[in-house]
Amino acid sequence: MKLKHLLPKTLLLLVMSFLLFSSCKKKTDPTPTSTTTYTTDPVGTQSTLKTGTLVNVSGPGTSGTISIIKDGNNNQFVKLNSDFMSGFSTGTVVVYLAKTSESIGVQRNGGTTSSNVQAVGFVSSNGQHYLKIPTSYDGFSYLVIYCETAEINFAYTPLM
């Protein structure tokens, strides 16, 4: 009789363990497809404001180069260049602007202050992406690729 009561909890625990350990891991497909994704199309002449090269810190081996650009309408975008690669088992990673390279979870949840991070957008495939920055990159020194499911930074770059 006690075993029937434990069965649902055991199954739930197994499913949650599987999700935790499989979250945000790199797909086994050796030739991921590259696509260009726009949250809003940059308009007119684009100028580069900052650049960076992603440093992998955990997870599936996130890599690539990024730029902060301004378009002809003075909108700012994060541009993940065509060499951007990460793992997408849970569907997406989140691109953040941050004031430090420490964990987004720590920065967002009071380790410093929540104003130390700004979510820019979700990315679900390798390759070039344009993500419109909601306000401005001013005051942020880092770009961080973060897995919400596993609550870990995959990669970061100082903005130079």
pTM to 2 decimal places = 0.74
Output phi, psi for 28, to 5 deg.
-85, -5
State the DSSP code for 122.
Answer: E
Kindly report the CA angle at 50 between 44 and 52, in degrees rounded to 5? 120
Nearest to 80 by CA among 109, 116, 120: 120
Report the DSSP pairing between strands 65-70 and 117-123: unpaired
Q: Which of 133, 124, 21, 28 is nearest to 70 (CA)?
A: 133
Is pLDDT larger for residue 111 or for residue 31?
111
pLDDT digits (tens, 9 = 90+) for 2-59: 545 544 554 444 444 443 344 454 433 333 343 444 457 899 999 999 999 999 998 7
**Rounded Cα gap, residues 55 and 143, in angstroms:** 10
Encode pLDDT of 49-77 as tens digits. 999 999 999 877 899 999 999 999 999 99
